[in-house]
């Protein structure tokens, strides 16, 4: 499956953005989908994951209550709604897909379980 992330941009603190990850080649219904981010000079970190049918979602503590992950399998797209953005959210955001199922938070939060990655979209939050 090929993943194409989009929707990044420059936004003021407190603002919102919606990121999209469009898949091609295979249906995303076969995958749990995740978002990760990498800030300048930092390691890639987990943001959120949604299971294949959307029945479960997992969030990093730093984004819980501000970000929402959701998916539209009919459109073969997963989204990340970013609200109440903070300068610390500035990063390149990546979407990823994994075929593994029935995992818990700690597993989905590990980048190593994801088989496919998009190219990333830059989010810049100004103070």
pLDDT tens profile 47-70:
999 999 899 999 999 999 999 999
Residue 114: per-residue pLDDT: 97
The span from the CA of 107 to the CA of 110, in Å, is 5
| Residue 20 near residue 123, CB atoms below 8 Å | no
Residue 67: per-residue pLDDT: 98
Residue 101: per-residue pLDDT: 84
The string of pLDDT tens digits covering residues 82-117 is 999 999 999 999 999 999 888 899 999 999 999 999
Tell me the pLDDT band of 4, cut-offs 50, 70 and 90.
very high
Q: Which residue has the tokens 């390691």?
A: 43
Q: Pick 19 or 53 by higher pLDDT.
A: 19
Of 20-24, 43-47, 97-101, the one with minimum mean pLDDT is: 97-101
Residue 111: per-residue pLDDT: 94
Residue 120: per-residue pLDDT: 95
Helices and strands in the chain, H and E counts: 1, 11
The span from the CA of 11 to the CA of 123, in Å, is 8
Q: Kindly report the CA angle at 55 between 50 and 57, in degrees rounded to 5? A: 35
CB atoms within 10 A of CB 14: 11
Residue 12: per-residue pLDDT: 98
Residue 102: per-residue pLDDT: 85
pLDDT at 16 over 90: yes
């Amino acid at each position: 499956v090929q993943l194409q992330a989009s929707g990044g941009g420059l936004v003021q603190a407190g603002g919102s953005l919606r990121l999209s990850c469009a898949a091609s080649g295979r249906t995303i219904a076969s995958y749990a989908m995740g978002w990760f981010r990498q800030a300048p000079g930092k390691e890639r970190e987990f943001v959120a994951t949604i299971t294949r049918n959307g029945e479960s979602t997992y969030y990093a503590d730093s984004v819980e209550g501000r970000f929402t992950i959701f998916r539209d399998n009919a459109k073969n797209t997963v989204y990340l709604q970013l609200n109440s953005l903070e300068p610390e959210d500035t990063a390149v955001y990546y979407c990823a897909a994994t075929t593994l199922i029935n995992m818990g938070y700690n597993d989905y939060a590990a980048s190593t379980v994801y088989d496919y990655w998009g190219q990333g979209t830059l989010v810049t939050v100004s103070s």
